[in-house]
């Protein structure tokens, strides 16, 4: 089992890349089943920076036409969610009247997704659905039911495959969990 050190913390392998790939295959099948015969062109909304890797992997597996748009929100400081969601970068395109597939790396408290859905509605999106690589059901404090979930995980702090600890660790292809033995 591999370990990595980021700043003052050590993390150990939690989900190997092969398992991540299989989970993305599975969630892509579900998205394809719902959008395959669509006549409109849905938007994949990449929530920066964390979902870059997941969005890229998901897009490769989709068999319908779609566009990609980005937005950057922030609610974390170190290993803790602040509960305060800030819009760091606005939407990179007009979404009026469009169906949006929100592509998130992780849904935990639900605060970011709720704020994002509010923003999308205010900007005139026709609808929005949530596609998340990871869901922490024990952490979610909102009445939130993502339509597409690749994997459910416990409420632990993780890094890798786009997820970071103070901006480090995003480039790791496996997902790592905080090593409590340290």
Is pLDDT of 140 > 90?
Answer: no
**What does the pLDDT read at residue 13?**
97
Is pLDDT of 9 > 90?
Answer: yes
More confident residue, 180 or 51: 51
Please state, in angstroms and rounded to a whole number, the distance separating the CA atoms of residues 116 and 126.
14
Indicate the number of domains in the chain.
1
Point out the least confidently predicted range of 39-53, 83-97, 128-142.
Answer: 83-97
- Is 8 part of a structural domain of the chain? no
Mean pLDDT of 162-167: 94
Mean pLDDT of all residues belonging to the chain: 92
**What does the pLDDT read at residue 75?**
67
Q: Could you tell me the CATH number of the domain that includes residue 23?
A: 3.40.50.2020
Q: Which domain does 131 fall in, by range?
A: 17-153
**What does the pLDDT read at residue 148?**
98
- Is 173 part of a structural domain of the chain? no
Going from the C-alpha of 113 to that of each of 39, 41, 150, 174, the distances in angstroms are: 26, 22, 16, 24
- Is 134 part of a structural domain of the chain? yes
Strand 148-152 versus strand 127-135 pairing type: parallel
**What does the pLDDT read at residue 143?**
83
Catalytic residue among 40, 63, 105, 108: 108
Instruction: Identify whether 49 is preceded by a cis peptide bond (ω within 30 of 0).
Output: yes
**What does the pLDDT read at residue 83?**
62
**What does the pLDDT read at residue 88?**
73
- Is 122 part of a structural domain of the chain? yes
Please state, in angstroms and rounded to a whole number, the distance separating the CA atoms of residues 105 and 55.
8
What are the φ and ψ backbone dihedral angles of 25, each rounded to 5 degrees?
A: -55, -45
- Give catalytic status of residue 37 as yes or no: no
């Amino acid at each position: 089992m591999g370990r990595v050190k980021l700043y003052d913390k050590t993390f150990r392998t939690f989900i190997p890349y092969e398992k991540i790939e299989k989970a993305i295959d599975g969630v892509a099948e579900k998205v394809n089943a719902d959008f395959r015969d669509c006549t409109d062109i849905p938007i994949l909304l990449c929530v920066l920076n964390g979902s870059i890797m997941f969005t890229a992997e998901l897009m490769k597996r989709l068999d319908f036409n779609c566009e990609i748009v980005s937005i950057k929100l922030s609610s974390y400081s170190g290993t803790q969610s602040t509960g305060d969601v800030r819009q760091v970068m606005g939407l990179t395109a007009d979404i009026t009247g469009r169906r949006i597939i929100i592509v998130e790396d992780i849904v935990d408290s639900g605060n970011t997704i709720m704020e994002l859905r509010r923003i999308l509605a205010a900007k005139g999106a026709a609808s929005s659905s949530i596609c998340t690589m990871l869901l922490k059901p024990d952490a979610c404090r909102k009445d939130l039911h993502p339509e597409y979930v690749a994997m459910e995980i416990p409420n632990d702090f993780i890094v890798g495959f786009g997820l970071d600890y103070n901006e480090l660790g995003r480039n790791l292809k496996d997902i790592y969990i905080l090593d409590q033995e340290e």
